[in-house]
Each structure stands twice: as structure tokens, then as C-alpha cells.
Amino acid sequence: MAHQANLYAFSGVDTLAPALRAYVVACQETGIQRHGVFKVGVSGGSLPKTLAQALLAPAAGDNDTVKWAKWEIFFADERAVPLDHADSNYALLKAELLDKLPSGTPKPLVHPIDVEQLNDTQELADQYEQVLVRSFASRDSVKLPIFDLLLLGCGPDGHTCSLFPGHALLRETSAWVAPIEDSPKPPPRRITLTLPVVNHAVRVAFVATGAGKKEIMREIFESDKGLPCALVNEGTGERCSWFVDNAAVEGVSYPRRPFSL
């Protein structure tokens, strides 16, 4: 099973969260060693809540510290809505995680979308791409941004970020950030990191929990349908890790690994 995605299954979110934290902290340390900061992209859905459970827990020791002041947070996908809108991934992350950081915690640098561009999703995507260009420009010669970590969800149709099954966006090869006007999951107007950017990250972690995921997990890991999550598995291999609960992988024959860093 060389060079294949790691599948880590836990009894529930309570046991998944500490492992996810250990994994994120390890990615953080690698990022800081390499370039002094930790550049991470996050999705919406249930991810921010699980992430909060992992990261807001007290540190288990000196090697378990979340160094928020070193974090630069980007959105793996975002809906074309105001930042205080119920559909906003920024608002979700803020409510679930950022607003719950203990007072006095040094704040991470967060990169929301430019709400001046909400009427034009191409412009919204281009502006967000420029945010990435500025942020990643200090590194090497950047053909593609290299996120230290992308934390992603998996939809019941196998989508991730706002990359949906069978959509033309899956064939995008040059843009880093792309608009979508016809997302099958509402709201329809969004922006998303493109597949080459997702696959270029140092590490990609999916978090998927609940019995509602088991059918699609089987298709992602056992079929050859080119689902977006499967394309990330193929593109990233052993750089990709899935944090799931047992309910989400019931009946999935793909081998689980015991979690270790």
C-alpha cells in the first residue's frame, strides 16, 4: 500500500479530535521550521466544529502547543456572501473557533474574501488568488502555492472544497482560485482552490464523520469514478490523511492504519 492515502478510523469525534490535534501541531511545527509561519487552508461544513474540539482543548505538554500567532488561515472554498452571512465559511470558522480562543491568545492572521467583489465571482476568485500570490511570494519561485496543510471535508457526493463531481472546474490547470456559479450544493455562487493547488499542499487532511458518509466513502476508496475526493487521494498519496469515525467507514474494505505521526 505504498504511496497511498492514510485512513485513520476512531470510535468517535472524542477520540478523533486529539489525534487530529497532534497531526495539525506536527504540520504546524514543520511549517514554522521551514519558513517561520504555518499556512493552512480550511473548508466549511462540519470541519470548523471538529477542528475547534481538537484545537481548543488544553495542551497536553510543551510539544502540543497551538502557536496561533504563527498561523495564517486561508479558506479552501468560500461562498460569495457577506462575511456575517449564515452561509459564510468565514462566519462559521469565526463562530466555531476564532471567537472561542481564550482572551489574551495572540490572534492568527485570517484571510477572508474581499466582499467588495461579491457581484462578480471571477473577480472574487482573482482577488483571492492575489492574496495567495502576495502571501506565498516570499517562497522560492511560486508556480503554485504550497500550503503547509489543507483541512478539508468530504460531501455526500464526493465533493471537496467546491470541486464537485463531473464539473468542468476539475479540469482547471492554470488558476489557483476559481469561481463557480452553479454549485449543486447551495449557495450556487462560490470560489474554490483548484485541484492542482489542493494536490500541491505539503499535507492534506480530510475529516469525515457519521454514518451518512459510508456510501460515498466506499465509492471514494473502492471505485474508479474520478470523484473529487478520490482525485485528491490520487494526487497526494501518502501526503493525504483521512480522519474518520468508524460509522463513516463501516463496510469500507480499504485498510485502516493505527494513528501515528
Residue ranges in contact with ligand 6PG by CB under 6 A: 43-47, 77, 89, 153-155, 159-161, 185
For ligand 6PG, the closer CB: 77 or 96:
77
Nearest to residue 132, comparing CAs of 210, 172, 191? Answer: 191
**Nearest distance, CB of residue 189 and ligand 6PG, angstroms:** 12
**Nearest distance, CB of residue 104 and ligand 6PG, angstroms:** 30
For ligand 6PG, the closer CB: 155 or 179:
155
The three cell numbers locating residue 224: 474508479
For ligand 6PG, the closer CB: 66 or 191:
191
**Nearest distance, CB of residue 167 and ligand 6PG, angstroms:** 13
For ligand 6PG, the closer CB: 6 or 160:
160
**Nearest distance, CB of residue 61 and ligand 6PG, angstroms:** 30
For ligand 6PG, the closer CB: 185 or 256:
185
For ligand 6PG, the closer CB: 31 or 41:
41
| SS3 readout for the chain | CCCCCEEEEECCHHHHHHHHHHHHHHHHHHHHHHHCCEEEEECCCCHHHHHHHHHCCCCCCHHHCCCHHHEEEEECEEECCCCCCCCCHHHHHHHHCHHHCCCCCCCCEECCCCHHHCCCHHHHHHHHHHHHHHHHCCCCCCCCCCCCEEEECCCCCCCECCECCCCHHHHCCCCCEEEECCCCCCCCCEEEECHHHHHHCCCEEEEECCHHHHHHHHHHHHCCCCCHHHHHHHHHHHHEEEEEEHHHHCCCCCCCCCCCC
